[in-house]
């Protein structure tokens, strides 16, 4: 049996897996709500307990009834507070758990005798207190709470119940064993739930001009169910702080450069849950959470400049340094989301490490392929061109250098000389590795190619409106030169161009090369078909291609991310 082409068994396992993952995420992302809901259930059980206590099934407004009603009101109040103000809920959550413990002590100490229903109620309260402690505090505090609660429970049985004869020794041992066992199970299960793993992160290469951390935006938004996100990073070239909103990534990204104050705040940021309207924040530091006024939190100037009201800051570490994701529009935001931040950071770090390792493995394989191709070119094409040049030189000397045929042969020989030089440089490029420390000025290399291109195609080639210096590795310079050569070739052969202009500029995170000609343009200027080979080569570099065509003019704009030059 199958549903929608999916085997029924697989569909069932997928649904169960998703529900299990959702429950685990909800457990530690909404820790404050889990504690408040557990307290409310305990209050309901306590009310049910006193209401159904013999001999009269009704409220008698005695001491136990008043305690139950007071605790129920307290539980409802904390539940409302957990939805309305995560800051107050966090600052008072420790006090709330202490009140839970005090209520547990009062209920046990005030009972004339322990019966089965009282034991069940006590164990229920104990489970709530321990689970809440695991969610709220570190392991040391949890251990102290667990030991204290169990010591009181055992002391009550040993010092009061056994001497009064309300329980036998066997029953007392059984209840003591139950309390210890329940404590171990609750603490272990709660701790394991906090270690629940998120779905694996596997990001794609981001657009040109963006850091690798941009590939994690969708993952972080889906994990927290955020409706908005802002990526902030330090550009390694101009050392400025830049920001880009998630919605801007759907089109051509245009990062905004932030002020010096915001950049300084960026460098001091820490994982934080913040509410700008109330001026409150909770910071994750030294393995725990600390409440602060937002104005005292590193990053306050950045939040103010970006205009975000409430959200969550997530660090993303990679080879390019630390970037920050500011997530906004998270439903029912709570301090438990700071635990989720740790899990998200761990998954993103592993995913980016795997991504980098994959790129390195691909580079290694590509290097071996380049060496193989270089050997083939050297042994075949380079030798053939050298032989052709030698034969043309001999033929030219036989017909005479000053004759018309001799001059034509000379032109062909000059073209072959230029092509032979290009092949030799291509072989050099293929033998280089990305770790080659030498750099080239791309503008100078393109300018040096002008004469060769003009001579080969008998056209005018100019280099205009370019930066003075654009430093790139040797291999990338030769890649760009080949792209420009192909663009010029297409313009002459397909567009019948007689003049070509080349521009080379470095912009924010991008190297921009524009090749424009005066040819006839594409048949359909509104929907020009980009040259496949140029687009494919740019894609391998992580870049992109934009074609602008009109009658009498064609412009190819090639964008290469600056990180390709690093």
- Residue 8 has a pLDDT of 45
The Cα-based distances of 135 to 36, 331, 491 in angstroms read 11, 20, 66
pLDDT at 401 over 90: no
Let me know if residue 404 belongs to a domain: no
- Residue 249 has a pLDDT of 72
- Residue 4 has a pLDDT of 39
Same-domain check for residues 38 and 155: yes
**How many other CB atoms are there within 10 angstroms of residue 395's CB atom?**
14
pLDDT band at 381 (very low <50, low <70, confident <90, very high): low
Mean pLDDT of the chain: 79
pLDDT above 90: percentage of residues in the chain? 8
Q: pTM above 0.75?
A: no
Pairwise CA distance, residues 405 & 399, whole Å = 7
Same-domain check for residues 169 and 293: no
Let me know if residue 232 belongs to a domain: yes
- Where is pLDDT greater, at 101 or 562? 101
pLDDT at 387 over 70: no
Give me the CATH number covering residue 319: 3.30.450
pLDDT band at 500 (very low <50, low <70, confident <90, very high): very high
Place of tokens 């932030």: 258
Domain boundary among 323, 357, 391: 357
pLDDT at 251 over 50: yes
pLDDT band at 382 (very low <50, low <70, confident <90, very high): low
- Residue 239 has a pLDDT of 66
HSE, side-chain direction, 13 A CA sphere, residue 108 = 26
Same-domain check for residues 174 and 314: no
Find the Cα–Cα–Cα–Cα dihedral 321, 324, 325, 326, rounded to 10°.
-170
Pairwise CA distance, residues 503 & 462, whole Å = 9
pLDDT at 20 over 60: no
Same-domain check for residues 330 and 264: yes
pLDDT at 435 over 60: no
Same-domain check for residues 102 and 224: no
Domain boundary among 357, 390, 413: 357
Same-domain check for residues 168 and 306: no
Residues 491 and 531 sit within 8 Å (Cβ to Cβ): no
- Residue 374 has a pLDDT of 65
Domain boundary among 328, 357, 386: 357
How many domains would you assign to the chain?
A: 3
Place of tokens 């080979």: 533
pLDDT in tens, 144-203: 888 888 888 888 888 887 887 777 888 888 888 888 898 898 888 888 777 766 777 776
Which pair of tokens denotes residue 562? Answer: 């600056």
pLDDT at 514 over 90: yes
Place of tokens 């500011």: 326
Same-domain check for residues 170 and 294: no
The Cα-based distances of 212 to 134, 215, 235, 239 in angstroms read 35, 6, 12, 16
Find the Cα–Cα–Cα–Cα dihedral 407, 413, 417, 420, rounded to 10°.
160
The Cα-based distances of 322 to 214, 234, 325 in angstroms read 12, 8, 10
Let me know if residue 348 belongs to a domain: yes
Same-domain check for residues 143 and 7: yes
Same-domain check for residues 175 and 260: no
Let me know if residue 466 belongs to a domain: yes
Instruction: Give the sign of the dihedral formed by CA 556, CA 560, CA 562, CA 566.
Output: negative
Same-domain check for residues 51 and 188: yes
Let me know if residue 190 belongs to a domain: yes
Give me the CATH number covering residue 493: 3.30.565.10
pLDDT at 396 over 50: yes
Same-domain check for residues 243 and 351: yes
* Beta bridge partner(s), residue 282: 273, 291
pLDDT at 516 over 90: yes
Which residue range is the domain that position 292 belongs to? 212-357
Find the Cα–Cα–Cα–Cα dihedral 273, 275, 281, 283, rounded to 10°.
20
Let me know if residue 481 belongs to a domain: yes
- Residue 559 has a pLDDT of 92
Let me know if residue 442 belongs to a domain: no
The Cα-based distances of 471 to 211, 215, 265, 464, 559 in angstroms read 19, 26, 31, 18, 15
Same-domain check for residues 114 and 140: yes
Let me know if residue 363 belongs to a domain: no
């Amino acid at each position: 049996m199958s549903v929608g082409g999916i085997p029924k068994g697989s569909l069932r396992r997928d649904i169960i897996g998703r529900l299990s993952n959702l429950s685990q995420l909800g457990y530690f992302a909404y820790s404050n709500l889990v504690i408040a809901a557990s307290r409310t259930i305990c209050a309901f059980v306590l009310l049910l307990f006193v209401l159904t206590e013999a001999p009269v099934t009704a409220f008698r407004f005695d001491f136990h009834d008043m305690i139950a009603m007071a605790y129920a009101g307290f539980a409802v109040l904390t539940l409302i507070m957990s939805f309305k103000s995560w800051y107050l809920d966090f600052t008072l959550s420790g006090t709330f758990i202490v009140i839970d413990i005090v209520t547990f002590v009062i209920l046990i100490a005030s009972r004339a005798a322990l019966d089965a229903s009282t034991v069940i109620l006590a164990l229920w309260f104990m489970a709530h207190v321990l689970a809440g402690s695991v969610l709220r505090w570190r392991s040391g505090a949890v251990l102290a709470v667990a030991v204290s609660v169990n010591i009181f429970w055992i002391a009550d049985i040993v010092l009061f119940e056994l001497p009064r004869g309300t329980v036998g020794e066997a029953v007392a041992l059984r209840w003591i064993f139950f309390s210890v066992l329940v404590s171990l199970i609750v603490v272990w299960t709660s701790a394991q739930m906090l270690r629940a793993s998120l779905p694996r992160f596997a990001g794609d290469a981001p657009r040109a001009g963006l850091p690798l951390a941009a590939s994690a935006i969708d993952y972080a938004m889906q994990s927290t169910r955020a409706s908005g996100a802002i990526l902030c990073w330090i550009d390694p070239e101009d050392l400025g702080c830049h920001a880009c909103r998630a919605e801007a990534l759907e089109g051509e990204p245009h990062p905004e450069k932030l002020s010096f104050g915001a950049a300084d705040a960026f460098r001091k940021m820490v994982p934080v849950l913040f509410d700008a309207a109330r001026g409150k924040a909770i910071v994750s530091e030294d393995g725990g959470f600390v409440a602060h006024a937002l104005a005292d939190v590193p990053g306050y100037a950045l939040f103010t400049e970006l205009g975000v009201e409430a959200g969550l800051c997530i660090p993303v570490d990679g080879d390019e340094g630390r970037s920050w994701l500011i997530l906004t529009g998270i439903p029912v935001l709570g301090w438990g989301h700071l635990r989720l931040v740790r899990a998200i950071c761990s998954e993103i770090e592993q995913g980016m490490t795997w991504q980098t390792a994959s790129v390195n493995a691909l580079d290694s394989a590509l290097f071996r392929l380049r060496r193989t191709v270089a050997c083939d070119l050297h042994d075949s094409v380079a030798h053939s061109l050298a032989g052709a040049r030698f034969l043309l030189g001999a033929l030219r000397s036989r017909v005479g250098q000053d004759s018309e045929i001799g001059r034509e042969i000379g032109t062909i020989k000059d073209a072959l000389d230029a092509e032979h030089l290009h092949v030799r440089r291509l072989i050099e490029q293929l033998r280089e590795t990305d770790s080659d420390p030498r750099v080239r000025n791309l503008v100078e290399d393109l300018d040096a190619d002008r004469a060769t291109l003009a001579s080969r195609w008998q056209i005018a080639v100019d280099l205009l409106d370019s930066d003075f210096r654009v430093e790139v590795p040797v291999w990338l310079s030769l890649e760009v030169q080949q792209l420009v050569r192909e663009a010029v070739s297409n313009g002459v052969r397909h567009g019948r161009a007689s003049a070509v202009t080349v521009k080379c500029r470095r912009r924010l995170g991008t190297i921009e090369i524009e090749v424009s000609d005066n040819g006839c343009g594409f048949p359909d200027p509104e929907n020009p078909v980009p040259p496949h080979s140029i687009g494919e080569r740019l894609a391998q570099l992580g870049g992109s291609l934009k074609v602008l065509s009109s009658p009498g003019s064609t412009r190819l704009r090639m964008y290469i991310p600056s990180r390709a030059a690093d």
